[in-house]
Structure 1
């Protein structure tokens, strides 16, 4: 009987581990078209649930919102200054017995957001990768309450910012810790419609990738800068139409920062000029003619001379060379991600000249990563990314049929 008991216990533990490895959670991603910003909807509260829209930000450490947007604040629990929760948040402050937290505002007119730290029950859905399943609750999600002024500059429907930074207090870290699941999350930003936000994701059901036997092909590269609160990629080379740009090593070695709030990739002037010059020469060789610039873009083209493909305008492909398991891997960006339509017959190179002294030499914006699956895996400190889903005649806003 002793052996049988041990076997039952072992099988029970094994089943629990398997369940947690395969558990995953889902939130929708909505694109706010006028501002090109992305937000998700979170249900906060225990009895009276309040759906609030929160901007997705890879650089925010602690989720914050205007708590007056909630239907009821009675379910909020103030975090005291002497509590272990407050002490676990780097850079915490105190106002009497209340815990405060100050952090940068990614878009607002005021540079910083200071708010009282609170906790509340938050509901999210489990998923098999394709549809919503059983709703589950994070009993005590920690976030801060900000004032109305902090919302200035955010899309009108948005009540705050969802923290997706590598920090221990971020939304994704709190969820994966609460459920004891794989510490990773995945984003599939839609070019329109509703996209996919997975936490601890295993299977991503975006047709034709409908099951684990036919997964989305992913490419892996290390993430650095996690300790500083950023997601940085080690850039080895930048290519335009297959030709490597001639850049000073210090411009490339500084890496590229990933952002979910910067609409278009921002480059140091020297990188931008090299990219734009090479792109323009390659485009001209393809018979694509230039037209006057349209602010904020500097290099624009006649859309009628470019032609069209599944992946957008038929223009020179831009690639970023990154370190991989067996050497350099490439992240390919086609016309849908490198060009933006500004007029009926005008498309522009969707990159911004960031000047000679930007805070970061390269910041990869959301337009470039739309319709790519991105997986941030903290267990291995790697980013997994797919090629453009448009190559498979699908997108981040495609959903499996619900029968």
Structure 2
């Protein structure tokens, strides 16, 4: 009888682990319209839960925030300098027995953020892929308390920065480790309103993709995480209107950085080649060029641009990426390649970053809006969808509320 009891207990534990490993989690993504930055919201705290808004940043290794924005500090626990937690954090330091964290501020005037590393409970929601379900907690969520001045440059509703880097201390790595779930996260950045941030996502229910038989079509390409905390994809070529740009191969060797903070940046030679080809293709479509509007260099008469499902009908920009069998193309359409700056003026949505920018290519927030992106840590793979606008839907579609 004892053996049977042990077997039943073992099977129960195994079943629980299996169910747990299939769990997925959902957080909202809000677009702050004045700054076009994106943040998510969840609760921190054990006794008194405090909802905090944190900027999404793929390049930050450890979440930091102004802890004075929390309703209660009573449940915060300092991380000691000699602990394994402290030693595992990139940029860690010590002040007495307290662990300190130093990290680049992605937006503000203060280039380096320094704060004490702490732990507290973080509460997020489970999901079936569409609805928010029950609240669950990461009992020892590790983050840093930064000062008030570090918030300079961030959107006003935001209390800090959420770490989404490939590093072991990132928010997503902490959640997937705590719950023993699939080590991946997915972002659907909205062009307006509310989008979706999945952790360990299995199903993505965004109409018309509402069940497993009609899942969002995704394409796979290798992705590389860097020591600085960036995600890079390997770019083989760039096309405008189906025609490849003639570029020095060295300009593509560094790959393209994916960013949820930077809007759009290209190295000067890449930008010039892209802008020249785009302008010629646009002219052939009957689109008229107009004087530039800072910070953009190449602008067009919006009255000469027709509309379609994917926004302004302008030349398609594609990047060639390595696939399982040969090159694959990731296409960007009007909603992601031009931006309206005046009632009658729209501009090519890229900035000339100079001859020697930190990253030669940045695929930023404007390009990534309304694409589903899935970052898989286990296979160092990025899965991306084509523009959801092609399917007459978007990341802003949200039919299920709390």
TM category, shorter: over 0.9
Q: Which residue of 2 aligns with 1:155?
A: 155
- Residue 217 of structure 2 corresponds to 217
Paired residues, what number? 402
- Confirm or deny: 8 A CA contact 1:99 1:117 kept in the other structure: yes
Task: Give CA deviations for 1:221-271 in whole Å, capped at 9, x if unaligned.
Answer: 0011344421000001100000000000100121000000002x2111000
| Kept after mapping to 2: 8 A contact 1:251/1:361 | yes
- TM-score calculated relative to the size of structure 2: 0.97
Larger mean CA deviation between 314-323 and 1-10 belongs to 1-10
Match of 1:355 in 2: 354
Does the CA-based 8 Å contact 1:210-1:400 persist in structure 2? no
Aligned-pair CA distance for 1:401: 5.3
Which residue of structure 1 lines up, in the alignment, with residue 276 of structure 2?
Answer: 277
Distance of 1:11 and 1:330 partners within structure 2: 46
1:54 aligned partner: 54
Q: What is residue 313 of structure 1 aligned with on the other side?
A: 312
Q: How does 1:59-208 map to 2 (within 5 A)?
A: 59-208=59-208
State the Cα distance separating 1:89 from its structure 2 match.
1.4
Distance (whole Å) between structure 1 residues aligned to residue 170 and residue 188 of structure 2: 19
Give the match for residue 389 of structure 1: 388
Give 1:326 shift: 1.2
Q: Secondary structure at the match of 1:158?
A: coil
**2:244 & 2:276 partners in 1: Cα distance?**
12
* Separation of aligned partners in 2, 1:244 and 1:357: 23
Alpha-carbon shift at residue 2 of structure 1 (Å): 8.9
Determine the structure 2 residue equivalent to 1:346.
Answer: 345
In structure 2, the gaps of 5 or more residues are: none
Q: More displaced, 83-92 or 63-72?
A: 83-92
SS in 1 for 2:394: coil
CA contact under 8 A between 1:321 and 1:330: conserved in structure 2? Answer: yes
TM-score by length of 1: 0.97
CA apart distance, 1:274:
0.3
Equivalence map 1:260-275=2 (5 Å):
260-263=260-263, 265-275=264-274
* Contact 1:245–1:275 (8 Å) recurs in 2: yes
Contact preservation (8 Å) 1:188, 1:374: yes
How far apart are the structure 2 equivalents of 1:254 and 1:82? 37
Q: Give the Cα separation in 2 of the matches to 1:329 and 1:21.
A: 32
Equivalences for 1:21-32 in 2 at 5 Å?
A: 21-32=21-32
Query: How far did 1:4 drift?
Result: 6.3
- 1:160 Cα offset (Å): 0.3
Map Cα deviations across residues 266-312 of structure 1 (whole Å, 9 max, x no partner). Answer: 11100000000000000000100001111111000011111000100
Alpha-carbon distance, 1:399 to partner:
2.1
| Deviation sequence 1:158-179 (CA, Å, 0-9, x none) | 1000000000000000000000
The whole-number CA distance in structure 2 between the counterparts of 1:384 and 1:54 is 24
Structure 1 residue 21, shift from structure 2 partner: 3.7
- Equivalents in 2 of 1:158, 1:73: separation in Å? 18
Q: Secondary structure at the match of 1:248?
A: coil
Residue matched to 2:377: 378
Deviations 1:56-79 (A, max 9, x none): 000000000000111111111011
Q: Deviations over 1:163-200 (max 9, x none)?
A: 00000000000000000101100000000000000000
